[in-house]
Structures are given as structure tokens and as C-alpha cells.
Amino acid sequence: MTPERWQQISRIFESAILLDNEARAAYVANECGRDESLRVEVEKLIESHGQASAEKFMDGVAAEAAASLLIIDEDEQRPPVLTKGQQFGSYVILDALGAGGMGEVYLARDTRLDRTVALKVLSSDISQDKRRMQRFRQEAKVASSLNQPNILTVFEFGEVDQLTFIATELVDGETLRHYLHGKKLKLGEILDISIQVLAALDAAHEARIVHRDIKPENVMIRRRDHVVKVLDFGLAKVTEKRASTMKAEESEAATEVKTAPGLVMGTINYMSPEQAKASGVDERTDIWSTGVMMYEMVAGKIPFSGPTTSHTIVQILEKEPAPLGNAPAELQRIVTKAMSKDPDERYQTAKDMLIDLRSLKKRLDVQAEIDRTSSPEINVPADDANLGSQKKRILVLALIAIAVVTATIFGINMWRSRTRTNIPAASQPPAPVPERTLTYWITVQKFRNGRPYQKPFTQPGEMIFEQDYQIRVHLRSPEPGYLYILNEGPASTEPQYVVLFPSSTANNGSPFLAAGQRVQIPEQSWFEFDRQQGVEKLWLVFSEDAVAELEAVKQFASKRTVGLVTDPEQNKAIQNFLSTATPMPAAEKSETLTTLKATGKLLVYPIRLEHH
């Protein structure tokens, strides 16, 4: 761009942003005349201006945004306590990952269970500090008592050579605080994150644990699949009874931890009115903080914020937050309810709020679908690809609907058993068979008015759908191995997959099948597919070893994503894997089932599903 052009653009831009929308368009059009590219440049810049303002882009000062860079650098100057390759109890140190307020974090190998963990070692001077030790111990104790996919898993807490350590699962990701920075979250994303946070809280609350410090800094988003992990149960308290308020002295002690002189442990912006007043704290405090966090995700700013701590507290106690202008009314209602000053007027449990959010999400998805498909039905669809992608969405919605219901009914316990029964790699039975065999059959159930109608029947091989058919898939193999089942919608430009197996409801969530073990998916209900014409596929992948390329799909198999792979990169990766897989296995069809045989360790086979 020439400096002249730049000056020209900036002159029009500067005047234009002072005008209201209508006058602005006219002004820009007039100023740019026939220079179309000039107009485009100016308009893009005006739009960026709007977004930059809304997102508070560069609103602060660089050193604040990048303060962590200065911290880590300082920590690097201190030699780490442990060095690479060093044996530490049953762990081998692989690398130093960095340092936090409590000590050093290492990447380490647990030699007993042969898994890689994050090992947080408390620095020796802090070990002397009773208060911090207490916090550290508590964090470990509380977190390890919770077993939920959205809560960071604590493997071990112990001491080696007088160094206290905590071993946890590895999470490669960023905090919601950082994720929010300079990014505009989409509504769907806001709902996904909030739903996962609430699922974590629901599990914690069920165990009578109140987190008490829910804020974006304590919510981590895993990079590869956007699974949310709630961190830092260091301030969490075990409540006396479910839904009962903590005793006054307990809560005072808690406040003291928070506000010990010279040590501000966190921001007060997410603090509930009852916390601010240092009165009784219970589960509903977490509901409040989640509401504040949701408000921030929607509005791009926190609802209560004053120049000083006392100003902020006054706002928390007295001020009603500004309405969330553009958000759907139902979302506003949910957030407002969560942020009621009076705990009795809030959601009383995380589960209630979770249910409202899930049904909102479902409704928005359906609405989006209606919006998308209503017009093309009147206009003749331009091409098959277009039609395909619409069909795909309907299928996906049907699956979501089923899975949401399933997850709501069976979900919580299933997720727990799933995490517990993860089969460690070491226990795989060796099976050096150069041939893979997989037998499958499909049960078809006819439905009428949403209820099963007539007896289900079984059929092998390909599937031709008639109206109101729903299916189950059954599989079995004489060999042990890892099974993955993916549904690929009718051909469209962007591949999209739904993970049917591993699932949160079948086989305890594990992809591993023992020799001869029969699985039925879904375990509790039926798969409903869309009713428009077209062909889609059910990909069966059965492998001697866990399939690295499909490891990530396990995450989608769980409750929240209900199988739908949303990341386009991920979908492409799956498509790549499936399309480059070994030659088609031989298929022998009997009257009731199909047996697939492939040479090698990997079997990949697409079952055709036709809709008429």
C-alpha cells in the first residue's frame, strides 16, 4: 500500500466512524466514488474498528497482557530442583515445563503405570510454609476425590526426599482468561464451555464440594479438542451437607485465606454477594460465579468492576448488571437467574442450570437448522453437495437429540465409570494375529409416533432405511482390539463425522474390546438417522493397536460433544485416515450377519446406509 493510499483510507475512515450506520454507508459510498477497492478497504477497516472496540483489543498495556513472559523468565534464572533424566520416586523427569506460584512443574514418566504425567513439585521453602502446604494438600485431596472428565485428574500426591509433589494428567491448552483475550466467542462456544464447567461443578457438588473460585483463570480449554478442565480446587471446601450452608467460622477462615494481608489470591470480580459479605457459602456461590463468567463471555466485559476493591464489592452487592443486549432472551434469562443477588432466587443446583443450557443449545441448533434449510427448499438446491450437507445436519441433529437425552439420563454415572475403567496400555493381551476379523449385524426397530412399533428385526450388511427406522449395531471379533465407529454423512464439500463408538454409554467408554466380546451400540437407545434421500456411511475401524489418528475422537465420544466432531481440521484428519486405510476387507454375508476379514493389523470398512 502506498503512503498516499493509506492517507486516503485513513481520512475517510476517521470521518466515517464518527457517523451513525446509515450516514456512514452513504458517506463512504460518496467519498469512494467508483473506486471499489478503496470502498472495500475502508469498510473492512471500519468493521475491524468495531470488532476491536467490542473485544477491547489492545485496551490494556502490553506489559500487563504479557506479564507472564516476565515471570517465566525470572523463574528460568533459578535452577530447577530436578533435572532431566533424574529418577524421582517412581517417576523419571522428562523435562521442566515451567514454574507456577507453588513450585515447579515437570513432564515426567510414571514408570509403574507407564504413563506421562505433569508433576508439580513444591519448592522446599514453600514446604516450610504451613499455610501454603495446607492449600497444596487440600487441592490434591479435593481434586483427587472427584472423578469427572472436566476436572483435572490428580493421580498421586506424596513426598519423595522431603519434596512434596502432585502428579496430575497432562493438559495442553490455555485458560479461558487467555482464550477470551482478543477473541470473540461464538454463542455455541459459550454454551459448550459453560455446559462443561457446570458438568464439573455438578460432579463436585454431588460430592459436596464447593469450588468457590470459579473464574476464567481456573477454566482450562484443551487445545486439541476444546474439552474444558476446571482447575484449582485449592480453595474448595467440603460442605457439611448437601445444599447446606457452611458454618460461619469455616467461611471466615476461608475468607482469611483469600484475603491474607499482602496476598491477594485472585480477582474479586467473580465473587458472590455472600462471599463478599463473608456470610455462608454453598454450591450456589459457584452458580453465581459461573453466571458472571458467562456474562463476560457474552458481553466481552465483566459485569461488576470498580476502580477499587470496595467499589467492586458495592457493585456486586447492589448493582444490577447491564442487560446483555444481543444475546438470545433465554440465555439472558439463564445468566440473570444465575446472577441473582439472593441465592434462593438462583439456580439451586448446577444440574438445573445445566439442563436449561443444554436445552437452549439444542433449540438454537434446531433453529439454526430451520433457518438454513427453509429457503433452499423453495429454491431448487444448486447441487448435490449442498443438499448433502443439509441432510447431514439433520442426521447430526437427530443424533444430538438422542445423545442429549441419553447423556442427561445416564450421563453422569457413565462418565464416571468410563474414567475409572480406562484400560492401561500395559494390560492389553498380546495378539500377534496377522488377520483381523470383525463380525457385525444391525438390528432395526420401527417407530411409530416416537414409540417402538412391532418387533425389531436383524439384518446383515448394507442398510436401506425406510421411514421411522432406527438401528442398533452389534459387533464381535475373535481377536481383541480397538474399535472405532464413525458416521460420515452424505458427501459434502466439508467432511463431517459423528463418533458413534467409543461412546459414553457402551463398553464403559473404552474403545478396547476383549476377544469374543460383543458390543451393542447404542447400548440404551437407538440411532435415528435423517429421512431425506441419500447415502451415508458407517465406518468400522478395528485395529490391533490403539489407532493414533483416531485417539482424539475418543473425546467426542463423550457426553457433551455427543459425538459430533466440530473442528474442520479434525474432520479432515479423520477423512485422511479413512481414505488412506488398507484395502477393503473381504465381506462374507450370511442371513443375519456379515463377517469382515482383513490382512494386517488394521481393518477399515464402510457400511452403506441408504435412505429412500
Calpha distance 368→360 (Å, rounded)? 12
Among 52, 101, 33, which residue's Cα sits nearest to residue 72?
Answer: 101
- Smallest gap, in angstroms, from Cβ of residue 167 to other proteins? 11
Which residues does 591 contact at the CB level (< 8 Å), separation at least 6? 460
Q: Which is nearer to other proteins, 178 or 301 (CB)?
A: 178
Calpha distance 568→28 (Å, rounded)? 36
Calpha distance 432→337 (Å, rounded)? 58
- Smallest gap, in angstroms, from Cβ of residue 307 to other proteins? 13
Q: Which is nearer to other proteins, 54 or 113 (CB)?
A: 54
Among 311, 257, 191, 283, which residue's Cα sits nearest to residue 560?
Answer: 191
Q: Is 114 a catalytic residue?
A: no
Rg of the chain over CA atoms, in angstroms?
27
DSSP notation for 412-461: HHHHHHHHHTPPPGGGPPP---SEEEEEEEEEEEEEETTEEEEEEEEE-S
- Smallest gap, in angstroms, from Cβ of residue 357 to other proteins? 24
Would you give the distance in Å from CA 448 to the centre of its chain?
35
Calpha distance 588→596 (Å, rounded)? 6
Yes or no: say if 123 and 106 are a contact pair by the CB < 8 Å rule.
no
- Smallest gap, in angstroms, from Cβ of residue 86 to other proteins? 16
DSSP notation for 31-46: HHTT-HHHHHHHHHHH
Q: Which is nearer to other proteins, 10 or 590 (CB)?
A: 10
Q: Which is nearer to other proteins, 117 or 573 (CB)?
A: 117
> What is the DSSP code (8-state) at residue 151?
B
- For 171, the grid coordinates are 493438559
Q: Which is nearer to other proteins, 63 or 378 (CB)?
A: 63
Among 227, 240, 238, 356, which residue's Cα sits nearest to residue 287?
Answer: 356
Q: Which is nearer to other proteins, 119 or 609 (CB)?
A: 119
The crossing angle, in degrees rounded to 10, of helices 384-420 and 350-378 is: 160
Q: 192, 213, 225, 286: which is the annotated catalytic residue?
A: 213
Q: 559 in the Ramachandran plot: left (φ > 0), alpha (ψ -120 to 50) or beta?
A: alpha
DSSP notation for 11-29: HHHHHHTTS-HHHHHHHHH
Positive or negative CA dihedral for 502, 507, 510, 511? negative
Calpha distance 150→465 (Å, rounded)? 37
What is the H or E stretch that residue 96 is in? strand 91-99
- Smallest gap, in angstroms, from Cβ of residue 14 to other proteins? 5
Positive or negative CA dihedral for 205, 210, 215, 219? negative
- For 6, the grid coordinates are 493509506
Q: Which is nearer to other proteins, 56 or 319 (CB)?
A: 56
Yes or no: say if 435 and 478 are a contact pair by the CB < 8 Å rule.
no
- Smallest gap, in angstroms, from Cβ of residue 257 to other proteins? 13
Write down the residue that cell numbers 452389534 correspond to.
474
Q: Which is nearer to other proteins, 140 or 334 (CB)?
A: 140
- Smallest gap, in angstroms, from Cβ of residue 184 to other proteins? 9
Footprint on this chain of other proteins (rule: CB under 8 A): 1, 3, 6-7, 10, 13-14, 17, 41, 44-49, 51-52, 57-58, 61-74, 76, 95-102, 105, 107, 118, 120, 152, 168, 170-175, 177-178, 182, 217, 220, 231-232, 263-266
Calpha distance 583→537 (Å, rounded)? 17
Q: Which is nearer to other proteins, 296 or 365 (CB)?
A: 296
Q: Which is nearer to other proteins, 167 or 353 (CB)?
A: 167
Q: Which is nearer to other proteins, 67 or 322 (CB)?
A: 67
- Smallest gap, in angstroms, from Cβ of residue 137 to other proteins? 15
Amino acid 242 reads R
- Smallest gap, in angstroms, from Cβ of residue 411 to other proteins? 27
Give me the phi and psi of 485, to 5 degrees please: -125, 125
Q: Which is nearer to other proteins, 221 or 604 (CB)?
A: 221
Calpha distance 419→441 (Å, rounded)? 28
Amino acid 371 reads D
CA distances from 552 to 169, 412, 475, 571, 604 (A): 16, 21, 22, 11, 17
- Smallest gap, in angstroms, from Cβ of residue 154 to other proteins? 11
Calpha distance 178→270 (Å, rounded)? 16
- Smallest gap, in angstroms, from Cβ of residue 21 to other proteins? 16
Amino acid 571 reads N
- Smallest gap, in angstroms, from Cβ of residue 151 to other proteins? 13
Active centre residues (catalytic): 213
